[in-house]
Amino acid sequence: MVSKEDTSLLNQWQRHYFMLKSETSTPSQNADAVRGMLTQLQYAQMTNRLSENDATCELYRQYFEKYSSIVDNQNKALGLNNYADTATALNRPSESLSWKSSVSLDNITSVPCIKSLIQNSKKNLDDPNSSTIVIAKPKQTRITTQVCSPVDMPTSHNAPRPLFKALTSTDNPAVIRSKPRNTSDSGFNYKASENSVRQSTSSNVSQDDPLRHSDFVPNQFAKGFGSREGKRGGLQSQMDDGWSGSCRQPSRPLQSFKRKASSSSSSGIGQGSFKSEDSMSRTGNYGNSYQGNTDTGEDSRNNQASSAFKTARDQLIINNQKKAGNRGVRGPPLTSSYGGTKKSLGTTRRGINSKFIPPVVSRDEDGDGGGTTYGRTDSRNHRSKKDESDEIVDERLKNIEPKMIELISNEIMDHGAPVAWDDIAGLQFAKSTIKEIVIWPMLRPDIFNGLRGPPKGLLLFGPPGTGKTLIGKCIASQSGATFFSISASSLTSKWVGEGEKMVRALFAVARVHQPAVIFIDEIDSLLTQRSDGEHESSRRIKTEFLVQLDGATTDTTDRILVVGATNRPQEIDEAARRRLVKRLYIPLPELQARKQIVENLLRQQCFSLNDSELQQICLQTEGYSGADMSNLCREAALGPIRCLQGSEIQNISADQVRPIIFQDFQDALLNVRPSVSEKDLDVYLEWNQQYGSGVK
Ligand SMILES: Nc1ncnc2c1ncn2[C@@H]1O[C@H](COP(=O)(O)OP(=O)(O)OP(=O)(O)O)[C@@H](O)[C@H]1O
Ligand SMILES: [Mg+2]
């Protein structure tokens, strides 16, 4: 029993066989039939319906031969002839598609017909009607010859047809023709006449010329050329001789053309072209003069335009100079070494000895320097608008990052409230010492110099709340020097290396703004004893401080005073201690000082205390620091308020509040206790004994 599958296979086979045998089937149908039979043979073999023996191989061979006889048969009627396609498809397209002609522009003159043309052209060169066609190879070299007809040119496939076409195209910018005025034919006449090419040209170039829009000539050049009326360049005149087309000449070939022509004119071969070359050379000049025109004409307009155009920055500088010139003040230099306009530090600099003027306007506008306005600026120093323009950045800041300088001058400059010496109770010794090393040298730098020069460093140490910071503020407002109030946080940064840069910038800015006072509150946090376990960055900041305080770069004439305040002097590094030459102990206020503090604080309040009561209070506050006294007074001042009922507080007027009385202080004494212990005091006393300057 034949299986269903075999039956269908048999039917298929028979169908293909009849297709193959039929007279009416086309080659492609035959090819399909054979392909089907071959596929069936493979299937039969794979499904073991056919064994691998000679008969099978013979069968395969027959059908493969049959298939190839159909597929590759070149006879259109019998075969598919697609061998060439697949074979050529196998070739690399570049080999099959683009041929490489052996003729090139350099050896075209050796082509026999070109040779004959050249000889012909020589003969009829003098003939006025003859036309010499100069073929300038685009871009590089030029060939002077006459066009011969493609008929004469080698017609084999290697003839440089596209090239030839390019070279002889009527509109090829490299092809320059002169033509007798009277011919009217249109387009080239490629037929070579017996003695010369009679080239009849027409002004309107054939529209379909593929090179009509050659890319050799920049449009603006073409336009410019056409628009240069009255420019009698050689080519222009040549054009006038009957060339009325829109001549588009490549500016570059003109140059190279000119160069080539001068070299080939001696050869004689360019004889004919000599004439045209001559004109061309003038043209070349024209080209140059045209270029020159561009330089003079348009450029002069450009120059006027460019001289009118200024950037905003330039305009600003010019305005500043005008303003400065009007005022007789030197205008800022146009650009700093940074390449921008000079940036000011927010101060007016008149040289090394001038005082710093803080960026805030001082209280007394008249700037007479009267009163103790903070950051005292007398009229001499008063920064006025007019001087704004002549600020310069001191060259000593040149290697400091501008952002650091900005930070130092903005964030670190002290802008506290003014403090007078009388606001500080007691501490006579400290006050006199400070006047001696800070105030007087400012007033009389001529006396206080050399050995009498002020020390570089001052250390204020003592229990907390005894007025160290207050002294710093007082120096700021009373010394008239540039006052920098810094703390450890303003010098440390999250970026490694920034801390020491800040220190360096600080001292650089202080040097520029000297005389300067650098007040470092809680200096122990910056200059603690150097130890092995400390962090690298704090170590570096410390070292930088030590170097700046008294290092190789410090100049003894620098008038910079570093004032450090700490209540932990024993933790300060010994190298720093050495540099803080004056070490003043700020003790707890004595009775008199305490009395002065209370009187100062109660001065603005309404109180009723008699001397004995006041004396009593001061006696009771033995061991209290100045801060503690302040707290006590604050607490006592609340006494009258606490007597009021809740509702009264809303309606009572300020002067109806009763005055502060002794009892209030008694109550306050119960709440405010001294903040310094006896033991702490002993530490300070001992340190003072050992290192203190003003040992009493
Ligand atoms: N001798 C003083 N005369 C007047 N007021 C004082 C005196 N000492 C301290 N005070 C008051 O105590 C407050 C704190 O003073 P200050 O900040 O100078 O203390 P300090 O010595 O800096 O303390 P710390 O060491 O904790 O920083 C001041 O604002 C001031 O009101
Ligand atoms: Mg303090």
Q: What's the average model confidence in pLDDT over 538-549?
A: 84
Ligand 1 atom nearest the C-alpha of 470 is: 18
Selection from 431, 456, 414, 631 nearest residue 559 by Cα = 456
Burial-class residue 25 by CB neighbours within 10 Å (0-12, 13-18, 19+): middle
* pLDDT over 60 (residue 538): yes
Question: Which pLDDT does position 270 carry in this prediction?
Answer: 42
User: Which ligand 1 atom sits closest to the C-alpha of 423?
Assistant: 4
630 lines ligand 1 (CB under 6 A): yes
Q: How far apart are CA 463 and CA 459, in angstroms?
A: 13
Quote the mean pLDDT of the chain. 68
What span, in angstroms and rounded, lies between the C-alpha atoms of 363 and 361?
A: 7
Q: Using a 6 Å cutoff on CB, does residue 264 contact ligand 1?
A: no
State the closest ligand 1 atom to the C-alpha of 586, by its place in the atom list counted from 1.
Answer: 21
Helix extents (H) in 435-497: 440-443, 468-479, 488-491
Quote the pLDDT of residue 414. 55
What are the two backbone dihedrals, phi and then psi, of residue 349, each rounded to the nearest 5 degrees? -105, 125
pLDDT winner (highest mean) among 171-175, 466-470, 481-485, 557-561: 466-470
Query: With 50 as the cut, is the pLDDT of residue 207 above it?
Result: no
Q: How far apart are CA 198 and CA 634, in angstroms?
A: 121
CB 452 within 8 A of CB 382: no
Token output for 177:
């023709």
Give the pair of three-digit tokens for residue 649: 């507080």
pLDDT digits (tens, 9 = 90+) for 334-374: 444 434 444 433 333 444 444 555 555 444 444 444 433 33
105-114, 275-284, 610-619: lowest mean pLDDT where?
275-284
Q: Do domains 363-585 and 591-675 have the same CATH topology?
A: no
Which protein residue's CA is at the shortest distance from atom 24 of ligand 1? Answer: 464
Distance from residue 531's CA to the centre of ligand 2 (Å): 25
Is the minimum distance from the CB of 358 to ligand 1 under 6 angstroms? no
Q: What is the pLDDT of residue 547?
A: 86
Average pLDDT of span 461-465: 90
Helix (H) or strand (E) holding 18: helix 4-21
For the Cβ of 520 lying below 6 angstroms from any atom of ligand 1, the answer is: no
At 631, the pLDDT band (50, 70, 90 cuts) reads: very high
Q: What is the pLDDT of residue 536?
A: 78
DSSP label at residue 470? H
Please tell us whether the domain made up of 591-675 is placed in CATH 3.40.190.10.
no
Q: What is the dihedral of CA 232, 238, 244, 250, to 10 degrees?
A: -80
d(CA 493, CA 403): 13
CB-CB neighbours of 449 under 10 Å: 14
CB 595 within 8 A of CB 618: yes
Q: How far is CA 447 from CA 10, 404, 421, 442, 547, in A?
A: 131, 35, 23, 10, 28
Residue with CA at minimum distance from ligand 1 atom 19:
465
Please give the pLDDT value at position 413. 61
Tell me, using a 6 A CB cutoff, whether residue 466 lines ligand 1. Answer: yes
pLDDT of 651 > 50? The answer is yes
DSSP 413: B
| Residue 192 DSSP one-character state | B
The DSSP bridge pattern shows strands 482-486 and 516-521 to be parallel
Determine contact, residues 162/101, Cβ cutoff 8 Å: no
For 583-604, give one letter per residue: b (16+ CB within 10 A) or e. Answer: bbbbbbbeeebbbbbbebbbee
Q: What is the mean pLDDT of residues 209-221?
A: 42
Give the range with max mean pLDDT: 94-103, 285-294, 323-332: 94-103
Mean pLDDT of 548-571: 81
The reported pLDDT for the residue numbered 280 is 42
Span from the CA of 465 to the centroid of ligand 1 (angstroms): 4
Check residue 2 and give its pLDDT.
Answer: 65
146-163 pLDDT per residue, tens: 444 444 444 444 444 444
- For ligand 1, whether the C-beta of 416 sits within 6 Å is no
Q: What is the pLDDT of residue 359?
A: 52
Looking at residue 97, what is its pLDDT?
Answer: 52
- Return the higher-pLDDT residue of 139 and 403: 403
Distance CA 79, CA 81 (A): 6
Domain positions in the chain are 1-335, 363-585, 591-675
- Residues sharing a CB contact under 8 Å with residue 192, sequence separation 6 or more, in sequence order: 117, 120, 148, 149, 151, 152
Q: CATH homologous superfamily for 363-585?
A: P-loop containing nucleotide triphosphate hydrolases (3.40.50.300)
pLDDT higher for 618 or 387?
618
In this prediction, residue 553 has a pLDDT band, given cuts at 50, 70 and 90, of: low
CA distances from 662 to 595, 649, 665, 666 (A): 14, 22, 5, 6
Q: Which residue from 423, 424, 470 has its CB within 8 A of the most atoms of ligand 1, so it is best to mutate?
A: 470
Q: Is the separation of the CB atoms in 488 and 526 below 8 Å?
A: yes
Q: What is the rounded (10 degree) CA torsion for 474, 479, 484, 489? A: -20
Distance CA 123, CA 214 (A): 33
CA of 195 to the centre of ligand 2 (A): 115
Ligand 1 touching residue 569 (CB < 6 A): no
Tell me, in angstroms, the distance from the centre of ligand 2 to residue 476's CA: 14
Residues with Cβ within 8 Å of residue 269, at least 6 apart in sequence:
118, 144
- Ligand 2 centroid–CA 487 distance in Å is 10
How many angstroms separate the alpha carbon of residue 658 from the centre of ligand 1? 28
Beta-carbon-side half-sphere exposure of residue 685 (alpha carbons within 13 Å): 9
Tell me the average pLDDT across 374-398. Answer: 51
What does the block give as tokens for 623? 């061991």
In the sheet that 457-461 helps form, which strands lie side by side, from edge to edge?
Answer: 482-486, 516-521, 560-566, 457-461, 582-585
| Residue reference for tokens 């001061």 | 618
DSSP run (H or E) holding 167: helix 161-168
- How far apart are alpha carbons 545 and 551 in whole angstroms? 9
Cα of 521 from ligand 2 centre, angstroms: 6
Model pLDDT for residues 107-145, shown as the tens digit of each residue: 888 888 888 888 887 776 666 665 444 444 444 444 444
**pLDDT value of position 611:** 87
Out of 68-72, 335-339, 588-592, pick the least confident. 335-339
How is residue 240 written in tokens? 């006038």
Residue nearest to atom 16 of ligand 1 (CA): 467
Nearest Cα to Cα of residue 389 among 324, 444, 442: 324
| Cβ–Cβ under 8 Å, residues 78 and 27 | yes
Model ipTM value? 0.97
Write the pLDDT tens digit of every residue in 493-516. Answer: 777 778 888 888 888 888 888 788
As a whole number of angstroms, the distance between CA 689 and CA 696 comes to 9
Q: What is this structure's pTM? A: 0.48
Integer Cα distance of 128 and 198 in angstroms = 11
Helix, coil or strand: residue 179: coil
Alpha carbon of 469 to ligand 1 centroid (Å): 6
Amino acid identity for residue 222 in this structure = A
Task: Give the number of the atom of ligand 1 that is nearest the alpha carbon of residue 567.
Answer: 25
The reported pLDDT for the residue numbered 293 is: 42
460 CA closest ligand 1 atom index: 21
Report yes or no: 153 and 103 within 8 Å, Cβ to Cβ: no
- Ligand closest in space to the Cα of 419: 1
